[in-house]
Structure 1
Amino acid sequence: MPALSQSDIDAILAVFRLFSQYENQSESARPPYEATVTSRIRDLHAARSPLTLLLPAFPWKNPNTDKVLSGDPDLGEELGLARLNHLCEELGRIHPYGAKLTLVADGPVYNDLLAIPDSDFYDYGVKLRHLAKARGFSHITFTRLLDVLDLGDGDALSKKDYLANADICRRVMERFVGTDFNLASQIKQHPDTALTYQKYVRSARDDLRWGPEIDPDVKGDPDRYAAETLKVAERMTARLLAYEAALQAKFPGHIRLSIHRSTGKSKISVPLIPQPDEFGLTPWHSCLLVTAEGRFRTGPSKDFRDDGKYEVSTKDGKPYFVREKHPDFDWPNHVEISHGYGGKIIITNTSTKESEKRLDKDAKIKLANLALRFEELEVHGFLAE
């Protein structure tokens, strides 16, 4: 097959620009990552390989109930995975060998520092895999830290055996930073590291107290807690740099994505749930709100507890997202409302009674209004007229 034309490469880069966001972004300037990514695209095409993307993310569900609805993946994770799968689909329309994404669930990299039990990150990862399979996100492949470090086949191990290796994985990973490692100089010299460290300081301050395994004496002493959060943020950043080095050693030819804000120099930052005026929160640290205007917003769950304004929608008996109250969302109990990637709303009539399958004037007006506000409307279970 002939080499990719420059127009093909430009089209691939345009897809990345559409999905990415970086610091000090402007419409006129090209993203800093494009030179490196162009080289990777050419190499992968020459090898007749798919465009292989790499993303470390989705560690565990934050136990902070002021931020999330529950400990399980919900609509936020569904939308995030859908966007990653969509990115691969769009790239595959241009690149003849397609595109795929390797998602490394990075729970064991940090969980012990934030007093999160090992079983929490493992169970969350299993549920994510089930979600991706159920939704048909076929371009995403999951892998574990054990596999990144070439210490075994994580999928072949039982939960008990995998968790027994968690501490070993951390010790081996930490060898990827030398004995002369200096975090202060790393933060000073590398803007991306500084951005991540600042985020970790905020996260540790907010979330460490929610860790089930935190020392109660530390939690109860404000001064000790403040000192501990800084120490945790520093160790998280050091672990991150070791983890980055391990990923580079294992996947040297992959195109690196990130769910963190960055300068765009060494990785492509992709917000999982794009927001109009900011990068947006990750779904494992936030709650997903569906607005009356048909938009998806991320925010702390504590901000959406006003029963007069919001309602929690459940799935399989568990909270799945929060929706802003509006008359157009008021339907009989036999009508279910759900939402999907791309601003989709699905109205499903579950009744078997013919009298309840007909759309009256009020229902037709509601559907018309919803069609105007959401990007896509699907209607099921009603009689055609």
Structure 2
Amino acid sequence: MPTADARITAPSPAPTPSVARTCGAILELLLPHRRASEPNAAAPASAFPHQLRRLAAFVAHDEPIVLTLPGFPCKSPNPAKVLGHLPDEGERLSLTFLDALCAEIQKVHAPGARLVICSDGHVFGDLIGVPDEHIDAYSDALSAMIRREELDRLGTFDLRDVLGDLPYDVKRARVHEEYAPTLDALRAEVHADEHTLRLYRGITRFLVDDATGFPGTRSALQRECRRRAYGVIQRSRAWGELIAAHHPRSVRLSIHPQPAGAAKFGIRLLDSRDVWTTPWHASALRQGDGSWELMPRSRAEGLGRLVRRDGAPSHFESDPTSN
């Protein structure tokens, strides 16, 4: 017999030609910014049936589209990569891009779109070595930046919206207990699934790169980061499930590379040489032609001069005489 939690749902009716055209047009706006996990990133809109179905549910009812993006957790604790623990020009540019993308969607779907930034810093802050007070400061400054820049199509969502003023260790434990996959199940998936293996390796590399002041050997650090990478993925999965529970109809975006046809659509915020790089793991450099690139602070310092905004370090401007 089915359990009490079983759900019987009728298949969604096929969208009308008009709805299908609108959904295809919206996806075409996302595709140029896709962060893909496969070597050949080119894929038609038809390769993303999950996203098309989610979009159709909004378009058919003439409703604003809701997109959710887990990310913008906190700055890396490694000072060789970032300018400090608060948002800077990299975040400002990324937020402006996301708001502008929603504005573009409104041109083909009149009710428009709004994007909810689901900040996940508190979910795994203890595993990445960032104190909760730094995460609070980053999140609060990010919200202030959204208001200051009048990015009205963006909103935020974090653990404080879910579990209020409980201690963060308690919040993390509750989310993990309710939503995280078991360690054994995740290990089996890493061994069996190429996409999950790449994710595990990418997070391990970031943890190694972000480590500062580790007392042991390099090999000991790598072992420790491999162990913590499983915890980060468990918590990230748990956060994703919690987001789905609170925003069940949303079109789910990801800052991680995703294969075509996945439930999440990987999206690139700014250009970088490494597909895994994000504004919170790097510094922004403005090139001589006006374009922007994310890179470690240690590299950006050799290519340009530091620019401050409102007294705080913001980004680097390219020096035409540098190599």
Tell me if both proteins adopt one fold, taking TM over 0.5 as the criterion.
yes
Aligned to 2:131: 117
Amino acid at match of 2:241: A
| Structure 1 residue 25 displacement after superposition | 5.9
Aligned to 1:194: 197
**CA deviation profile, 1:91-113 (whole Å, cap 9, x unmatched):** 11111221001111111111111
Distance 1:267 1:142 in 2: 19
| Structure 1 residue 253 displacement after superposition | 0.9
**CA deviation profile, 1:147-175 (whole Å, cap 9, x unmatched):** 3xx434xxxxxxxxx3x431222111112
User: Structure 1 stretches of 5 or more lacking a match?
Assistant: 153-161, 211-218, 328-385
Aligned to 1:250: 246
User: Of the two, which has the highest radius of gyration?
Assistant: 1
| Structure 1 residue 17 displacement after superposition | 1.1
Q: Mark the CA change 1:40 to 1:7 in structure 2 (over 3 Å): closer, same or farther.
A: same
Distance 2:59 2:263 in 1: 21
Between the aligned residues of both structures, percent identity stands at 25
Q: Mark the CA change 1:191 to 1:97 in structure 2 (over 3 Å): closer, same or farther.
A: farther
TM-score when normalising by structure 2: 0.86
- The partner residue of 1:151 within 156, 159, 163 is 163
| Structure 1 residue 190 displacement after superposition | 3.8
Aligned to 2:271: 274
- 2:57 aligned with 1:43: yes
Distance 2:189 2:274 in 1: 26
Aligned to 1:173: 175
Amino acid at match of 2:207: A
Aligned to 1:311: 305
Q: Mark the CA change 1:273 to 1:177 in structure 2 (over 3 Å): closer, same or farther.
A: same
C-alpha contact (below 8 Å) 2:35/2:256 kept by paired residues? no
Distance 2:130 2:96 in 1: 27
Q: Please show how residues 222-241 of structure 1 align to structure 2 within 5 Å.
A: 222=217, 223-241=219-237
Q: Which has the higher contact order (CA 8 A, sep 6+)?
A: 2
| Structure 1 residue 244 displacement after superposition | 2.0
State which drifts further: 189-198 or 312-321.
189-198
Amino acid at match of 1:204: L
**CA deviation profile, 1:34-83 (whole Å, cap 9, x unmatched):** 21111111211234421100001111111211101222211100111111
- The partner residue of 2:207 within 204, 208, 227 is 204
TM-score when normalising by structure 1: 0.73
C-alpha contact (below 8 Å) 2:119/2:156 kept by paired residues? yes
Q: Secondary structure at the match of 1:182?
A: helix
Distance 1:27 1:114 in 2: 30
- 2:215 aligned with 1:220: yes
Distance 1:256 1:9 in 2: 15
C-alpha contact (below 8 Å) 1:88/1:100 kept by paired residues? yes
C-alpha contact (below 8 Å) 2:183/2:234 kept by paired residues? no
Across the aligned residues of Structure 1 and Structure 2, the Cα RMSD in angstroms comes to: 2.3
**CA deviation profile, 1:268-302 (whole Å, cap 9, x unmatched):** 11111034x65362111101111112221111111
Amino acid at match of 2:312: K
Aligned to 1:185: 188
User: Structure 2 stretches of 5 or more lacking a match?
Assistant: 1-15
C-alpha contact (below 8 Å) 2:181/2:238 kept by paired residues? no
Q: Mark the CA change 1:17 to 1:178 in structure 2 (over 3 Å): closer, same or farther.
A: closer
Q: Please show how residues 1-385 of structure 1 align to structure 2 within 5 Å.
A: 4-24=18-38, 26=40, 29-30=43-44, 34-147=48-161, 150-152=162-164, 162=165, 164-175=166-177, 176-177=179-180, 181-209=184-212, 219-222=214-217, 223-264=219-260, 265-275=262-272, 279=275, 281-306=277-302, 309-326=303-320
C-alpha contact (below 8 Å) 2:58/2:64 kept by paired residues? yes
Distance 1:322 1:180 in 2: 41
Q: Secondary structure at the match of 1:209?
A: coil
